[in-house]
Amino acid sequence: MYSLAKGNVFNRSLDKIEPIYFQGDNESMEKYLFSYTAASLLPHETQKVAELYLAFRDWKRVDTEVLEHNVLQKNALSTLKRENREIKKRLKSLTEEEFMLYEEGIDEKYITFLACLKTYRLIFEFCSEILREKVLLFDEQILPSDYTSFMESKQAGAEELGHISTATEAKLRQVMFRMLVEVGMVDSLKGMRITVPTLPRVLINAIVNDDPKWLRGFLMSDSDIQDYVEGNA
């Protein structure tokens, strides 16, 4: 166990971690990243890396610990390096308040999925634009045409999506739905029924303090989001 005592953690500031926004001044953050195909949700592994960072406050030291001690318990060094790289990318998208929730004992899958929403534009848009809209229409069944139509609409407006191969597109779909099953927002790859997650209030508060739009990625309606923003929920 690498985490510090809670009192010590809260008395020390994290290195500056910039949250990722897709609609803002940083044009590079508006691009689609496809690297999530290299690693699914990995909530337990992400928890371990987060604990290392909270203990050392040094990403280079985290790399050393992960690689020398095989913290993620992978059989191949290439897999260890690849997943560690992707986990760090996700963790760096979180605000300090969100990051510190790894110390709070809440289900790490929700914090980790938040990091994925903030890192991978395609996942956020599919959840907020397709799954959330289906829930609002009381339609819990995901159809193959839902994803196909979604990708076609995105490919029409994004050059990087228009040039991906059929194999890459299939991998993007496969890993995205695996993540949705792992976080509990889809019942199974066979059933493909949507389930709205019940988020811990402390996580909701942290998201509201960051940017309430991320709650759309967890399928929350705008009226419910507004209630949390105004403190009425």
Output the pLDDT for position 162.
81
Output the pLDDT for position 156.
86
Output the six-digit token pair for 42: 């990995």
Output the pLDDT for position 7.
34
Q: 201 pairs with which residues across the strands?
A: none
Which residues of the chain are under the pLDDT cut of 70? 1-30
Q: What share of the chain is helix, strand, coil (3-state, %, to 5)?
A: 65, 0, 35
Residues in the chain: 233
Output the six-digit token pair for 211: 């940017």
Question: Residue 217 in contact with residue 131, Cβ under 8 Å?
Answer: no
Output the six-digit token pair for 215: 């709650």
Output the pLDDT for position 33.
92
Burial 220-232 (b: 16+ CB within 10 A, else e): beeeebeebeeee
3-state SS, residue 186: strand
Domain boundaries, the chain: 6-230
Q: Compute CA distances 2 → 6, 103, 110, whole Å.
A: 12, 11, 21
Output the pLDDT for position 18.
38
Instruction: Look up the pTM and report it.
Output: 0.86
CATH number, domain 6-230: 1.10.3540.10
pLDDT digit string, tens, across residues 67-82? 999 999 999 999 999 9
Is residue 172 classed exposed, middle or buried when 0-12, 13-18 and 19+ CB atoms within 10 A define those classes?
Answer: buried
